Structure 1
Amino acid sequence: MIAWIEADADARLTGRRLGISRNTVRSRLRTAEQVLGRDILSTGAGVHELVHAFHATGRLAPSRTASSQPGEREES
């Protein structure tokens, strides 16, 4: 999940970085959704909670912009 968050919720990029297919990434995320009882594949509260949990435990470094979430793009 950390790799997926760091890839801005891009399954194709995550798969490339991990050496697996994007379908495998999505399958693993669907399994995580069931285990966690959270909707994480659509951007929203589930992803937001994960990002905060990973930050709180030190598993994910704070991003350059604390307000951005995976899948959101900064405006230039």
Structure 2
Amino acid sequence: FLHAGARILVVSLWPVQDESTAEHMDAFYRHLQRGVPAEEALRAAQRETREKHPHPYQWAPFVLIGRGGPVALEMTPERALR
């Protein structure tokens, strides 16, 4: 994905339950939409997920790969999956 042009990837180091992953990604994208840099958005999402799912197995596996910083989330026709 990075070779194809993605600036960042958020990946899990091990399988995680769907519920906690969905909550984590919702929080992550909510912070990105507010203009929070990706690395800070990931930390904030981990803190939020940890409140509801305190075991590290549910919130700790997510890592950011690539260049951090603000991420533009606008969807243009050229970038949309068809």
TM-score by length of 2: 0.29
Highest RCO, 1 vs 2 (Cα 8 Å, sep ≥ 6): 2
TM-score by length of 1: 0.31
Which structure has greater strand proportion?
A: 2
Q: Which has the larger radius of gyration?
A: 2
